[in-house]
């Protein structure tokens, strides 16, 4: 069983920055792709960014150029550096980790962008 623990959310002013972390622990044989999703109130959960096991990255158009996904394989941790934050980035952010033939979700961390 794999567990994910997220951290780093909070309240930030427009134009500010936050860095989210998601650490995996448990019976991990091999982690493949790691990803961040977000869900705003009343909306569906959307993909924000992905990073493969060889560090190939992809981003949603709404965050490209502002957000950076990265990973530390030695720590089984994925990060999301968020810069130039906008009010529309307000959401609960979830990490998702793919390993063997399945995936697991984090518990979510709230990010609020407001003045």
Which strand ranges, in their side-by-side order, compose the sheet holding 67-72?
2-7, 18-26, 77-82, 67-72
Q: How far is CA 10 from CA 49, 71, 76, 99, in A?
A: 19, 21, 23, 28
Average per-residue pLDDT for the chain: 95
Percent of all residues in the chain with a pLDDT value above 90, rounded to a whole number: 89
- What's residue 26's pLDDT? 86
- Whole-number pLDDT of residue 47: 98
User: In the prediction, which pLDDT does 1 show?
Assistant: 79
pLDDT classification of 63: cutoffs 50, 70, 90: very high
């Amino acid at each position: 069983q794999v567990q994910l623990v997220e951290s780093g959310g909070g309240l930030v002013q427009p134009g500010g920055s936050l860095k989210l972390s998601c650490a995996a622990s448990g019976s991990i044989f091999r982690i493949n792709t790691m990803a961040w999703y977000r869900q705003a109130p009343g909306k569906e959960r959307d993909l924000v960014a992905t990073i493969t096991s060889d560090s190939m990255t992809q981003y949603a158009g709404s965050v490209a150029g502002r957000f950076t996904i990265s990973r530390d394989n030695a720590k089984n941790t994925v990060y999301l550096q968020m810069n130039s934050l906008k009010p529309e980035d307000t959401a609960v952010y979830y990490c998702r980790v793919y390993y063997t033939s399945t995936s697991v979700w984090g518990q979510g961390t709230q990010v609020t962008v407001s003045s």
